[in-house]
């Protein structure tokens, strides 16, 4: 997989909707090892307004036939698997926006295709690089909380009005759980590994809603519980993270601000980029203490991708890690439908490989 590192990796982006325009294009452009050369979109004028030098393709398959090295897929969720397979078979390295696929079967198949084609296949779990998550992770790993007994992660928004966009339609891959679920699942798996069982409730609560806009998911780890919650009807009053342990408790009230910064025009490298002025609070038997929140930087994901392609370093998010996320995502859907706890449907070999950190 190694290549000549003297020239940037030529990158093509499929999709210039919210994810492509807000996250992928600016983050790719901020990494010296990558150059955004082409974009496939049905809105060429919007692309050219932001990136006048790129080549615009109406057909994503035409982009795959061009001289790009890496293809990033930021199109609707139900297109991820077929487009990723086509790109891999065209000899390209591939990054897929979350969710990786719609099913475990598709996820396993893509992993096998990438292995056969000897190409990097990575999934855009950018929230590993958020300030709030990095801060909570550092405190847990420091041991100051002791053995963690309860972990709670909220990714809540207040959007009471249903919008006419594909993410809110009753289509495969639509709804809040497939949108925000992969973020909070991946973060929990990075902290605690695979759960034994999953218990979830997924619902549509907004007036006129077509797709799920509420999800409450409990991951079972022996006596420890990880609660993952996402809703479109939370105007305030909840914490982004709450962690309780035998040594104390930790809260981080609000979400990392990089999405807001990107929408406001800030970019990686700007002085305020990734800065989170809000402290975490650690509570112990002797009182409370404010802890500084580290700086976030989602462009690190693409720097890691560039290194993985150029010098064969570790893939920042492997297809196996994404498969584990899909297993929990799918288990939660079954749990909600059937009203029972469900074990993630990974094989013993997949579980062992995930726990060992295999590529």
268-282 pLDDT tens trace:
999 999 999 999 999
Residues 39, 210: Cα–Cα separation, whole Å: 31
Peptide bond preceding 99 in cis form (omega within 30 of 0): yes
- Position 3 scores a pLDDT of 53
Class in CATH terms, 9-127+301-318:
alpha beta
Specify whether the backbone of 223 is left (phi greater than 0), alpha (psi in -120 to 50) or beta: alpha
* pLDDT higher than threshold 90 for residue 170: no
Average pLDDT, stretch 313-332?
96
Question: How far, rounded to the nearest angstrom, does the alpha carbon of residue 279 sit from its chain's CA centroid?
Answer: 24
- State the average pLDDT over residues 167-191: 94
pLDDT at position 207 is 96
Q: Break the chain into its structural domains and give their ranges.
A: 9-127+301-318, 131-297+329-347
Tell me: pLDDT of 358 over 90: no
Task: Pull the structure tokens for residue 269.
Answer: 């490298």
What is the maximum span of the chain, computed from C-alpha positions, in angstroms? Answer: 63
- Please return the burial class of 37, using the count of CB atoms within 10 Å of its CB with bins 0-12, 13-18 and 19+: buried
Q: Is the pLDDT of residue 6 over 80?
A: no
d(CA 330, CA 217): 12
Q: Are 83 and 14 in contact (CB under 8 A)?
A: yes
The residue-averaged pLDDT of 73-93 equals 97
Structure tokens at 276: 């989170």
At the top level of CATH, the class of 131-297+329-347 is alpha beta
**CA–CA separation, 104 vs 111, rounded Å?**
11
- How confident is the model at residue 45, as a pLDDT? 95
CA 174 to chain CA mean position, Å = 16
């Amino acid at each position: 997989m190694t290549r000549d590192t003297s020239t940037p990796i030529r990158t093509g982006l499929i999709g210039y909707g919210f994810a492509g325009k807000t996250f992928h294009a600016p983050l790719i452009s901020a990494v010296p090892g990558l150059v955004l050369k082409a974009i496939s979109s049905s809105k060429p004028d919007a692309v050219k307004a932001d990136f006048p030098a790129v080549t615009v393709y109406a057909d994503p398959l035409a982009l795959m036939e061009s001289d790009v090295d890496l293809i990033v897929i930021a199109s609707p969720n139900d297109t991820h698997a077929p487009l990723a397979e086509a790109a891999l078979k065209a000899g390209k390295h591939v990054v897929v926006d979350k969710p990786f696929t719609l099913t475990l079967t598709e996820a396993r198949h893509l992993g096998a295709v990438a292995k056969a084609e000897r190409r990097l296949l990575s999934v855009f779990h950018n929230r590993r690089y958020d300030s709030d998550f990095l801060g909570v992770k550092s405190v847990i790993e420091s041991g100051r909380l002791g053995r963690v007994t309860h972990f709670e992660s909220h990714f809540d928004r207040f959007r009471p009005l249903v919008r006419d966009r594909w993410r809110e339609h009753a289509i495969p891959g639509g709804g809040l759980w497939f949108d925000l679920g992969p973020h909070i699942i991946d973060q929990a798996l990075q902290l605690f590994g695979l759960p034994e069982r999953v218990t979830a409730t997924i619902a549509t609560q907004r007036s006129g809603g077509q797709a799920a806009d509420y999800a409450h998911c409990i991951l079972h780890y022996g006596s420890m519980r990880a609660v993952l919650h996402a809703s479109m009807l939370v105007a305030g009053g909840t914490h982004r993270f709450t962690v309780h342990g035998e040594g104390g408790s930790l809260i981080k009230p609000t979400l990392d601000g990089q999405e807001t910064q990107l929408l406001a025009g800030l970019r990686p490298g700007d002085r305020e980029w990734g800065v989170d002025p809000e402290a975490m609070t650690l509570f112990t038997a002797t009182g409370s203490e404010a802890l500084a929140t580290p700086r976030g930087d989602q462009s690190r994901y693409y720097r890691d991708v560039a290194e993985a392609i150029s010098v064969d370093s570790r893939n920042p998010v492997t297809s196996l890690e994404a498969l584990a996320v899909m297993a929990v995502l799918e288990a939660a859907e079954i749990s909600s439908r059937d009203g029972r706890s469900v074990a993630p449907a990974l094989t013993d070999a997949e579980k062992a490989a995930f726990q060992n950190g295999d590529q």
